[in-house]
Every structure is written in C-alpha cells, then in structure tokens.
Amino acid sequence: MVKTTVKIGGMACGMCESHINDVIRKTFPEAKKVSSSYKKGTAVFVTEEEVDKECLRKAIEDTGYHYLGVSSEPYVKKGFFGW
C-alpha cells in the first residue's frame, strides 16, 4: 500500500476539499482514505500501487486548482507493526 500526498494550491473551504476528493476518487477508483485539507493545502489518499503522477497532475489541474507537487511513502496501518 502506498500513501500519496498531493500539494494543492487554491483550496479555500470545505467545498473545495470535497471537490478535490471527488476528483481523486473519480481518477483513481481504487483510492482509499481520500481526504483533503484546505488549511494544509494537501490531499492524501492510499492505494495498492503507486499512482500515475502525470494522471494525478492533469486531474487536479483540470479542476482549476493548482498542482504543486506530490510525494508518496509506504503506507503502514497504525498498530500493525507497532507492537
């Protein structure tokens, strides 16, 4: 599992967050735990495999928000390896 964090500019309220969440779910139907924060300017989601970043960039830019970058890291369920 991979956790992807996208930096997005231009989100200003909760509506923007849900707009971005919808776009991510539509672009990557396998995405789980999709959540955005306009305060942090990020959207985070989890997928089995790493997503196509070019695809992600295009999807975000098509919404009119600004794609500012992306980072990914292995996703480990909390508590699973924590003992």
Smallest separation, CB 25 to Cu ion (Å): 18
Question: Which residues are at the interface with Cu ion (CB under 5 A)?
Answer: 12-13, 15-16
CB of 2 to Cu ion, least distance (A): 28
Sheet of 42-47: strand order equals 32-37, 42-47, 2-9, 66-74
Inter-residue contact 29 to 12 (CB < 8 Å): no
Question: Whose Cβ is closer to Cu ion: residue 32's or residue 40's?
Answer: 40
Shortest gap between Cβ of 35 and Cu ion (angstroms)?
Answer: 15
**Cβ(31)–Cβ(47) under 8 Å?**
yes
